């Protein structure tokens, strides 16, 4: 018997699929009521990418707090709004603000990591076949400088694996099969989209790279030892506190994934990461960075629209 104080967490764990379905039904009703086109891309506007929301046309916004069961964000600088609209004519859902694992890691029954990917499950439930992920990250690769972009080529997941635990009854987008354990993760980041994004980046960025993102739980930044291990041992190019759990879910649900990191701070050759939250926010708030990131994403969708 689960004691009273644990009961609510247990129910969340037990009813996760239904909670996702309720949130998706709410959004689907808004889509229908407003005659919106079926979204084809979900895009997480991570830290600093909020500006991109201004590029979305025909918008309908829904605060996360209005959507049943949708996790709200608690980190300053990370808003919680879902935006229905179009980017360069492509119907999308923008997710302005994400739930980080470090905010909810204390919740029992694996609920923390499940909450951090709730939005991605909802997007899959809506039948959205593509996921665009963005984040802020520290540059481990010594060729990277602040404000650079790194297109995600691969990742190293050091968050708890979100597929741990019993199999769930979610089905994959586009085919109704179910996979849970032993999900292959090769090719997690779609090759064609990576190339499209790199091309878009080359139009507008002084420095755009292709690299491997490593996730940590945070909420601490890394020690010298960790930075050296991640760079020289693991071969990671950038480190951050999000994304990989979302990408595991997206891949598990058969979504095509593309994404980039905005490098907000660099890590020295000796492994010194001297950043702090204020510095990270400052880079992301810079008008130049916001403007450039917006242009790149719009260009990506403009090119994508030509292929559709």
Number of H helices, E strands in the chain: 10, 9
Q: Which of 209, 75, 72 is nearest to 154 (CA)?
A: 209
Judged by CB under 6 A, which of 48, 50, 94, 138 binds ligand HPA?
138
Judged by CB under 6 A, which of 265, 290, 292, 294 binds ligand HPA?
265
For position 149 contacting ligand HPA by CB under 6 A, the verdict is no
How far is residue 191's CA from residue 57's CA, in Å, rounded to a whole number? 28
Q: Which stretch binds ligand HPA (CB under 6 A): 65-73, 77-85, 189-197, 236-244?
A: 236-244
For position 116 contacting ligand HPA by CB under 6 A, the verdict is no
Neighbours of 54 (CB within 10 A): 10
How far is residue 262's CA from residue 134's CA, in Å, rounded to a whole number? 8
Judged by CB under 6 A, which of 120, 124, 137, 214 binds ligand HPA?
137
Nearest to ligand HPA of 282, 303 (CB atom): 282
The footprint of ligand HPA on residues 196-235 (CB under 6 A) is: 221-222
Nearest to ligand HPA of 212, 273 (CB atom): 273
- Cα separations in angstroms, 246 against 22, 172, 277, 292: 20, 15, 22, 25
- Token duo for residue 215: 């996730």
Q: Which of 80, 93, 111, 98 is nearest to 7 (CA)?
A: 111
The residues annotated with a catalytic role in the active site are 47, 78, 100, 102-103, 136, 241-242, 265, 277
For position 36 contacting ligand HPA by CB under 6 A, the verdict is no
Judged by CB under 6 A, which of 241, 247, 293, 304 binds ligand HPA?
241
> Where do contacts with ligand HPA occur on this chain (CB under 6 A)?
136-138, 221-222, 239-241, 264-265, 273, 275, 280
């Amino acid at each position: 018997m689960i004691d009273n104080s644990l009961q609510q967490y247990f129910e969340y764990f037990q009813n996760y699929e239904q909670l996702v379905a309720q949130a998706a039904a709410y959004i689907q009703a808004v889509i229908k009521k407003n005659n919106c086109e079926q979204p084809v891309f979900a895009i997480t506007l991570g830290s600093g990418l909020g500006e991109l929301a201004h590029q979305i046309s025909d918008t309908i916004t829904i605060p996360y707090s209005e959507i049943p069961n949708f996790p709200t964000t608690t980190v300053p600088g990370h808003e919680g709004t879902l935006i229905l609209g179009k980017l360069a004519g492509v119907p999308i859902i923008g997710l302005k603000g994400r739930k980080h694992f470090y905010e909810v890691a204390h919740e029992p029954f694996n609920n923390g990591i499940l909450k951090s990917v709730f939005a991605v499950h909802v997007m899959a439930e809506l039948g959205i076949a593509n996921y665009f992920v963005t984040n802020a990250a520290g540059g481990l690769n010594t060729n990277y400088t602040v404000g650079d972009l790194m297109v995600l080529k691969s990742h190293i997941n050091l968050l708890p694996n979100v597929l741990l635990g019993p199999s769930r009854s979610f089905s994959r987008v586009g085919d109704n099969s179910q996979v849970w354990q032993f999900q292959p993760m090769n090719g997690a980041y779609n090759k064609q989209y990576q190339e499209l994004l790199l091309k878009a980046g080359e139009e507008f960025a002084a420095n755009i790279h292709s690299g491997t993102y490593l996730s940590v739980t945070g909420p601490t930044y890394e020690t010298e030892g960790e930075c050296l291990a991640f760079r020289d041992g693991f071969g990671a190019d950038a480190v951050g506190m999000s994304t990989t759990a979302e990408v595991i879910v997206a891949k598990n649900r058969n979504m095509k994934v593309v994404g980039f990191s905005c490098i907000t701070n660099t890590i020295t050759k000796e492994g010194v990461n001297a950043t702090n939250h204020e510095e990270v926010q400052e880079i992301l708030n810079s008008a130049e960075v916001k403007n450039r990131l917006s242009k790149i994403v719009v260009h990506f969708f403009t090119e994508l629209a030509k292929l559709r």
